[in-house]
Structures are given as C-alpha cells and as structure tokens.
Amino acid sequence: MNNNLEQLPKPVTLGLEPSFGFGDRTGLATPGHVASMKRSGAGIKAIYPQQSIREMTRTQRTPTGVMEDALRDMVASGWTDVTGADADHLKTPEDVDVTAAVGFTFFTIDPSDHVDEHSDTYDQATLESKFADIRDQVSWIDSYRGKSVTLSTGTSFQLDEEACLRAAVKYGIALNEALSLCNYIDEVHEGLGRDYEIELSVDETEQPTTLAEHYIIADRCLSNGMKLVSLAPRFIGHFEKGVDFIGDLDALDISLHDHAALAKELGPYKLSLHSGSDKISMYGLLAKATGGLFHVKTAGTSYLEALRVVARHDESLFREIVDFARGRYLTDNATYHVHAT
C-alpha cells in the first residue's frame, strides 16, 4: 500500500448500520461532506472514499488517489469516527484487484452489462425462446415457480411461470456474473486477511425492480453465500444526479415499505438508494420504511457545486466545460439515467 495511506486511518466494514456514501469526483469535497455529517448525520455512518471505476477512468483518478484524498481531508476536517470505503460499480476481477489493494472495504457489484433490458416487453413465445437459450446457465427456475409470498406489510405476490421466466431472462446471466465476482472478492480478501462487505446494484435499468425479481435476486445471492450488506433495486419513479425524486411520492412510499419488508425477511440487509443526491423529499420515507436499514449513495451534488463556483468565477472555463459535456452527452448518457434532450 502507498506509504501515505499507511499513515492514515483504515476504512472499516459498517455492517447494518445506516450509512451515507459521498462520491467526490474532484477529490476536493470531503471537508464539505464532513461538515454536513457533523451538522446533520447523527446516528449515520459515513463512507468518504467512494468512487466508481467508470468515474475514476473519466476523471483520470486512481483508487490510491481517491482513498488518499478522502482520508487525508477527513482527518484534516476533524472527523474522528470510522469511515467505510466504497469501490463502486465493479464489473471485473481487475476492478477488485486495484481497489482491494488500497483498502476499500465495501464492494458494489454492478452486473448491469448482462441484464436483458428488453425482457419486460417480450411476449410469451419470445420469453420462452430467450429462456431456452440460457436454460443450461440458469438452472434455478423450478425452485421458485409456484411460490406465493406475503410480506409483513400485507402485500402478496406470486412467483408464477411468467414472473420466473422474466426474472430468469432479465437477470439470470447477470446473477451468474455477480456471484462469480463475489467469489473472487472473497478469495482476494481471504488472501489479504481482511473483512469486506458487498452491495449488489441492480438499479441501472429502465424498468423498476419488481418484488418477485427482488426476491429471486436476493435469495440467489444469499443462498450462494454472498456477504450481502445492501441491495440497490431500481425503484419506481426517476432518479437523476443532483435533483430531487421525480414521481409519485405516495406510490414510492408504499413500494419502499414492501422492498424494505422483503429485505428484512430475507436478510436482513440494507436497502440502498443510488443516485441519492438531493433526494430531499424521500430521505425521510426511506429511513422510516427501512427502520434504519438503509444506505444512500450520492455523487452529483459536490460536482454540481464545483460547476457553480466555476460559472461564477471563470465564465470562459465554464463555457469550455459545457461544450465538452455536450460533445460527450450521447456517449456518457449510455451509463447514466438522465432525461435531458
């Protein structure tokens, strides 16, 4: 490990404590994040080192740099409590290697490249044909078909033939990839002699995660030994960086209670809110629905505040950034959920 890192506090696993993760794309925002936690974060654990591999690549940062910047500024800002460290949106063993090597403790697996985004629209014949193509790789469908689940909220759902087929086609290969990466994370940490925890991200889809899909995804992970501390479903409504929740809050509240009940009954594990920046209208709903079993992941706010500073103090640089962003929009939109045109 980098000598500078050796002199800084070591991130730890946070378990089922309510937690809040602060993505800092510029490497300059941790003092503000610490100030916000000191002011309003009572009872919540912090994750200051947090960055996705895709964002490190785009900002030309490294896992070492992300870790060192966050921990150094955390100490300088007077933070004396523990912190986790989130290696976000991991897709490959190489992603695990470079983040585990510098002490990340919270590994967010993102198998979205293997999710069939169109499965919700397939007719029965297409669904059966798609499943036939992967049947040898997805052998668990018979163990769920015909189940009926009633949650503590009173909501019931059926794992009927169609629900199982759609879950298998949509997530079957993605689950295989997630479990394979999970096993690799476990091997790496066994060799290092360090603890770790896993979050599974299935939020980067156009369609919300159904209760049936949530049930099957979590049960497959847990039954295969994944150290699942939190799951990020795709909730109803729209979740974009740096703006409040877009959608029906009453419907979201009902959905949050149902997903939280499922997480408690299967795990327990935390319900994770991704693209959590500035979701002011729903933070209270999430905390209440989960009874404190929640994780919130943010990134957009500090980046937008940095842009606000640039706009006020260097107009020409701001225009250069806008022109660059417009040129990158179609490329970057492929990996973020935004509705700008």
Helix (H) / strand (E) containing 132 = helix 124-134
Concerning whether 88 is annotated as a catalytic residue, the answer is: yes
Identity at 62, one-letter amino acid code: T
Residue 208 exposed, middle or buried by CB count within 10 Å (0-12, 13-18, 19+) = middle
Q: Which of 86, 88, 110, 203 is catalytic?
A: 88
Token pair 């059926």 is at which residue? Answer: 158
Q: Is the dihedral of CA 267, 200, 252, 214 positive or negative?
A: negative
Q: Which of 199, 203, 204, 258 is catalytic?
A: 199
Q: CA triplet 248, 252, 254: central angle to 5 degrees? A: 125
Instruction: Return d(Cα 149, Cα 216) in angstroms, integer.
Output: 11
Token pair 């070492």 is at which residue? Answer: 64
With left for phi above 0 and alpha for psi between -120 and 50, is residue 335 left, alpha or beta?
alpha
Grouping H, G, I as helix, E, B as strand and the rest as coil, residue 267 is coil
Q: Is the dihedral of CA 240, 243, 249, 255 positive or negative?
A: positive
Grouping H, G, I as helix, E, B as strand and the rest as coil, residue 187 is helix
DSSP 9: P
Concerning whether 199 is annotated as a catalytic residue, the answer is: yes
Q: 115 with 69: CB under 8 angstroms?
A: no
Q: Which are the catalytic amino acids?
A: 88, 199
